[in-house]
Structure 1
């Protein structure tokens, strides 16, 4: 490989890894935005580590760190950094594939945990006094108001102690009023599925960029190895 080809490959490695680094930074920012503005986190705790916002923040942080090594190794033509980058990126891609497989295989179990968490939150809400568990109550009220639903499976879950957030009228300032009859579990499950779909699409796009980065790093590393270069 002549010097001009090496220069082009090096520029491609640097540019693609910089693009991947920018994608990782954007993913972190978007994940943090979701963490700050999320109103449902306290209702779902069994699979809190794989909550969409947390998944985005963790994945984005790892990607930015790994891609930084790729940018630095490509710019300096440092074979040691490129080898470390190649190994870490390969492991990261395997982890991403493993997470995708886990979601596919254990989707039913996740749905079960989802429903159990909602029932637990509803019982806490129903049995708490007015001044206790205010955060959980506010989030459950927000869910019922936003998704126009009541309870987990239906209005009967409240056992007569129906909160005002179940009201289907506007305004709800009368003593006797109509309530939403449909439960929230299906609507919330669909909302989470949509979030995971957008998260998965972003991770898939990043995976494709990582695959290209992995592929074009090989000839540059091999060239540096043949020339005995790359540890300065």
Structure 2
């Protein structure tokens, strides 16, 4: 009975990590595609490196590497890979919880920073347009201003705050389950006397 449960645990871990690997690869590929085809500069100069393409690229790489370790560690029953998978998931959870805590703690400061940076970016775009050196056309800024980008973005976050919180909690639960599964498999391998492969 215990052997059947462990086999079920092993293959569940393999399937979940394989799905995460595919999603990470897709995110990585889409991020590269957006980097190659994006012609519009960032609206927020201070956070120019944190655009959607770069974030997809980085998240895709992290998901691909971590899920590959989990998949291979579970499939091959390799203790070293399972421990590495556990440590990486633990670090990811710490980073996510720290980022969430800092966002909640400095919410008002982040909002005023974004508003100030958007205004500075608009002024620089106007000055560049007068000199003919703008990488972003004034038409792009006109479109952005008629949607009221800052206010719309703020309202969207406020409306979807609960959904975002639930998504973060679900992600953390999945990561904790992955850690529990890897520890359980590690203990089973150690008790069975199986050596490193």
TM-score (norm 2): 0.78
* RMSD over aligned Cα atoms: 3.4
Per mean C-alpha deviation after superposition, the further-off stretch among 47-56 and 2-11 is 47-56
2:45 aligned with 1:45: yes
Contact 2:128 2:134 in 1 (8 A): no
Per mean C-alpha deviation after superposition, the further-off stretch among 51-60 and 119-128 is 51-60
C-alpha distance in 1, partners of 2:143/2:55?
Answer: 27
Q: Secondary structure at the match of 1:81?
A: helix
Tell me the equivalent position of 2:12.
Answer: 12
C-alpha distance in 1, partners of 2:166/2:27?
Answer: 12
Q: Which has the higher contact order (CA 8 A, sep 6+)?
A: 2
C-alpha distance in 1, partners of 2:75/2:120?
Answer: 54
Match of 2:140 among 136, 142, 147: 142
Tell me the equivalent position of 1:213.
Answer: 178
Tell me the equivalent position of 1:112.
Answer: 112
CA gap of 1:201–1:26, structure 2 versus 1, over 3 A, is farther
* Higher alpha-carbon Rg: 1
Contact 1:31 1:54 in 2 (8 A): yes
TM-score (norm 1): 0.68
**Aligned residues, how many?**
197
Tell me the equivalent position of 1:174.
Answer: none
2:93 aligned with 1:93: yes
Tell me the equivalent position of 2:72.
Answer: 72
Contact 2:28 2:56 in 1 (8 A): yes
Per mean C-alpha deviation after superposition, the further-off stretch among 65-74 and 193-202 is 193-202
Per mean C-alpha deviation after superposition, the further-off stretch among 98-107 and 48-57 is 48-57
Could you tell me which runs of 5 or more consecutive residues in structure 2 were left unpaired when the two chains were aligned: none
CA gap of 1:41–1:199, structure 2 versus 1, over 3 A, is farther
